[in-house]
């Protein structure tokens, strides 16, 4: 299904969108990639969702990406004897290693790694920041904290640590089991939660062994501080604004979103903007004007994808939410100001042959007014470098590898088609012309540009650019 936009839509599946008929409707409404949240899906449900997505993929004849989002470490306080306690700013409460039910003076914190890492002066945010504490005394058995803001703490509320870097990695035992399970089902992307440092990706990459691409969710201040290092080791990034807005001042999040988006684009890595994009559509058939502007900003910024969470997973209007996001993206990309904004944000090309070829393809395509840029990509590298240039000409990505086409469904501007492997350079150009005509990107008598790596099937070697004329038979003409 050919889209009329470049930015991609990532839709989360859940109770409101788990059956195959609904997944088909979401895809037809505009969803390009589906997210399975492993915080809520067990392995049996995950396998069934993958099967249903693949069934829809077969029915529509277009590659569909699947992203499995690992839960990551969930830090929570224990329980209280009465379920909750009321506090006032200035009061003190201890978080300790005593498993007894808590009271007005103390509560169990079942995370020794926190007790070992938090120092005097560090903040602890409880229940998404509704209660703010600051540590005034610390040892390995407890943290004495003063209440800075908020008035209540109750059973099993989450703990965020904006000032503390934990020694533990991003993968929990549950994550390792989940990672093995989703890799066995052939998911295309794995999202890693609560990344703090580049080393947090090492274990997941060792387990994945190239079977899926890794997406790092940037949701902690520590990750923002080491963003460039994390980008280098990641295959993609997500601006996870929910937790960013808890651990950092809310007013800082928009600037961080722009920083992450531009840094990822400079590196040629896909970037997803997520959290509360159309939040009101969980219960309403139309979004707020502010939400429309929020989605628009991400599109103007050149994000590869925008994501729906509860809107499509548990909301009352999942199809409407996807369709609304689709319409917003289409309208933004038709705005006469859009090309200029995208052009102004273009990063300088890296000093590599692949970037030079991709830059030349974009410049030649726009100068000559060709119909489409066709990039032949077995590993995805050629497609990623072409998308990095954000050309105003459509991009058709051809791949003989289904897994590659599915992974590239997350990438800005790439319309992915699976085709038989080319036998020669001439065969590849003929395939590009024929498929461009079949997909209604070009007609006989028009020109297109083809990029690829030569020799064929050489990973990461984008080094060929060719202008092709389409003959009356739909193949390349001299």
Residue 237 and residue 132 share a domain: no
Residue ending a domain, choose from 126, 160, 194: 160
Percent of the chain at pLDDT above 90? 90
Residue 382 and residue 320 share a domain: no
Residue 112 and residue 35 share a domain: no
Residue ending a domain, choose from 344, 370, 402: 344
pLDDT over 60 at 478, yes or no: no
pLDDT over 90 at 311, yes or no: yes
pLDDT range class, residue 49, cuts 50, 70, 90:
very high
Q: Is residue 1 part of a domain?
A: no
Instruction: Name the average pLDDT for the chain.
Output: 95
**Of the ranges 61-70, 163-172, 444-453, the best mean pLDDT one:** 61-70
Q: Is residue 253 part of a domain?
A: yes
Residue 424: predicted pLDDT:
87
Residue 25 and residue 139 share a domain: no
Residue 178 and residue 31 share a domain: yes
Residue 396 and residue 273 share a domain: no
Q: What digits encode the pLDDT tens for the residues 164-179?
A: 999 888 899 999 999 9
Mean pLDDT, rounded, for 228-253: 96
Residue 1: predicted pLDDT:
67
CATH number for the domain that contains residue 102? 2.40.33.10
Residue 410 and residue 380 share a domain: yes
Residue 32 and residue 132 share a domain: no
Residue 308 and residue 230 share a domain: yes
CA distances from 21 to 25, 54, 142, 285 (A): 6, 12, 52, 20
CATH number for the domain that contains residue 459? 3.40.1380.20
Q: Is residue 145 part of a domain?
A: yes
Residue 453: predicted pLDDT:
84
Q: Is residue 3 part of a domain?
A: no
Q: Is residue 246 part of a domain?
A: yes
Residue 320 and residue 254 share a domain: yes
Residue 148 and residue 105 share a domain: yes
pLDDT over 70 at 111, yes or no: yes
Residue 458: predicted pLDDT:
66
How many structural domains is the chain composed of? Answer: 3
Q: Is residue 79 part of a domain?
A: no
For the entire predicted model, the pTM comes to 0.94
Q: Is residue 383 part of a domain?
A: yes
Domain that holds residue 146: 84-160
Helix H, strand E, coil C: the string for the chain is: CCCCCCCEEEEECCCCCCCHHHHHHHHHHCCCEEEEECCCCCHHHHHHHHHHHHHHHHHHCCCCEEEEECCCCCCECCCECCCEEECCCCCEEEEECCCCCECCCEEECCCHHHHHHCCCCCEEEECCCCEEEEEEEEECCEEEEEEEECCEEECCCEEECCCCCCCCCCCCHHHHHHHHHHHHCCCCEEEECCCCCCCHHHHHHHHHCCCCEEEEEECCHHHHHCHHHHHHHCCEEEEEHHHHHHHCCHHHHHHHHHHHHHHHHHHCCCEEEECCCCHHHHCCCCCCHHHHHHHHHHHHCCCCEEEECHHHHCCCCHHHHHHHHHHHHHHHHHCCCHHHHHHHCCCCCCCCHHHHHHHHHHHHHHHHCCCCEEEECCCCHHHHHHHHCCCCCCEEEEECCHHHHHHHCCCCCEEEEECCCCCCHHHHHHHHHHHHHHCCCCCCCCEEEEEEECCCCCCCCEEEEEEEEECCCCCEEC
CATH number for the domain that contains residue 236? 3.20.20.60
Residue ending a domain, choose from 286, 310, 344: 344
Q: Is residue 436 part of a domain?
A: yes
Residue 272 and residue 178 share a domain: yes
């Amino acid at each position: 299904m050919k889209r009329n936009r470049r930015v991609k839509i990532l839709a989360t599946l859940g109770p409101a969108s788990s059956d195959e008929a609904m997944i088909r409707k979401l895809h037809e409404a505009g969803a390009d990639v589906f997210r399975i949240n492993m915080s809520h899906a067990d392995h049996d449900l995950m396998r069934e969702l993958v099967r249903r997505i693949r069934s829809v993929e077969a029915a529509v004849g277009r590659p569909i990406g699947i992203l499995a989002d690992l839960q990551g470490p969930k830090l929570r306080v224990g329980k209280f004897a009465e379920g909750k306690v009321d506090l006032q700013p200035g009061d003190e409460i201890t978080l300790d290693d005593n498993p007894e039910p808590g009271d007005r003076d103390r509560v169990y914190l079942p995370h020794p790694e926190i007790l070992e890492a938090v120092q005097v002066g560090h903040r602890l945010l409880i229940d998404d920041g509704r209660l703010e504490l600051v540590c005034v005394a610390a040892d390995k058995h407890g943290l004495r904290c003063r209440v800075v803001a908020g008035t209540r703490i109750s059973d099993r509320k989450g703990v965020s640590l904006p000032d503390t870097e934990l020694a533990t990695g991003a993968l929990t035992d549950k994550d390792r089991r989940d990672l093995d399970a989703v890799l066995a089902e052939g998911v295309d992307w794995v999202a890693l939660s609560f990344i703090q440092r580049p080393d947090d990706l090492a274990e997941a990459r060792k387990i994945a062994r190239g079977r899926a691409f890794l997406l790092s969710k940037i949701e902690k201040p520590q990750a923002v501080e080491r963003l460039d290092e994390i980008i280098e080791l990641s295959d993609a990034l997500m601006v996870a604004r929910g937790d960013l807005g808890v651990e950092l001042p809310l007013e800082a999040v928009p600037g961080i979103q722009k920083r992450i988006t531009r840094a990822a684009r400079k590196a040629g890595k896909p970037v997803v903007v997520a959290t509360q994009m159309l939040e009101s559509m969980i219960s309403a058939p139309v979004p707020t004007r502010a939400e429309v502007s929020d989605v628009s900003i991400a599109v103007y910024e050149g994000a590869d994808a925008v994501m729906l969470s509860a809107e499509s997973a548990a909301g009352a209007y999942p199809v409407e939410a996807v369709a609304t996001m689709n319409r917003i993206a289409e309208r933004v990309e038709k705005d006469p100001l859009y090309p200029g904004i995208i052009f102004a944000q273009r990063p300088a090309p890296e000093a590599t042959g692949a970037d030079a070829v991709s830059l030349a393809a974009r410049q030649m395509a726009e100068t000559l007014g060709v119909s489409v840029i066709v990039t032949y990509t077995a590993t995805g590298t050629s497609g990623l470098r072409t998308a990095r240039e954000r050309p105003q000409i459509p991009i058709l990505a051809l791949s003989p590898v289904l897994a590659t086409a599915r992974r590239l469904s997350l990438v800005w501007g790439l319309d992915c088609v699976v085709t038989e492997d080319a036998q020669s350079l001439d065969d590849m150009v003929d395939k590009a012309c024929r498929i461009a005509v079949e997909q209604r990107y070009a007609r006989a008598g028009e020109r297109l540009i083809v990029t690829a790596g030569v020799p064929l099937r050489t990973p990461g070697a984008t080094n060929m650019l060719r202008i092709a004329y389409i003959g009356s038979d739909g193949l390349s003409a001299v």
